[in-house]
């Protein structure tokens, strides 16, 4: 199992909907504040690049009570994988915010530095949420 998070920069953000821990998030462009995030839903083709990785889950009920989402923006993070991922694999998000191997043209979320063994297992990534795409 991958090591725990090794954060470079973590920011609190408002959440526009439920977010599961250890998932990729993107900026919610429908929010007026420019700071609100939502769980990534196939950011491989989304207009907005991946922003980072959620540390904790947040439910709709918690959002109504003012809870936000802690997002790892840089450094190292643990992400739930949608498949087995080897060390060195560039990753992006699937439709559920889970890490998958990035194909050419996909937004990059990071590079695997501790492998996952399969579906719904954790992997560790070095975050690369800088607006770049896979070649």
Give all domains of the chain, ordered by start, each with its CATH number: 6-127 (2.40.300.10)
What are the pLDDT tens digits along the chain (135 aa)?
555 566 678 899 999 999 999 999 999 989 999 889 999 987 665 677 899 999 999 999 999 999 999 999 999 999 999 999 999 999 999 999 999 999 998 999 999 999 999 999 999 999 998 888 988
Q: Read out DSSP for 12-77? A: EE-BSS-B-TT-EEEE-TTSTTS--EEE-S-TTS-SSPEEEEESS-B-HHHHHTT--EEEEEEEEE
**Whole-angstrom Cα distance, residue 72 to residue 70?**
7
pTM surpassing 0.85? yes
């Amino acid at each position: 199992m991958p090591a725990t998070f090794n954060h470079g920069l973590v920011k609190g953000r408002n959440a526009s909907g439920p977010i599961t821990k250890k998932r990729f998030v993107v900026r919610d462009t429908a929010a007026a504040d420019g700071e609100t995030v939502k769980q990534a839903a196939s950011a491989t083709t989304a207009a907005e690049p991946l922003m980072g990785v959620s540390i904790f889950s947040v439910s709709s009920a918690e959002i109504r009570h003012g809870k936000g989402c802690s997002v790892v923006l840089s450094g190292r993070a643990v992400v739930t994988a949608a498949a087995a991922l080897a060390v060195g694999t560039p990753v992006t998000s699937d439709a559920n915010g889970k890490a998958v191997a990035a194909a050419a043209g996909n937004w990059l979320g990071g590079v695997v530095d501790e492998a996952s063994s399969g579906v719904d297992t954790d992997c560790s990534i070095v975050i690369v949420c800088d607006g770049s795409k896979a070649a």
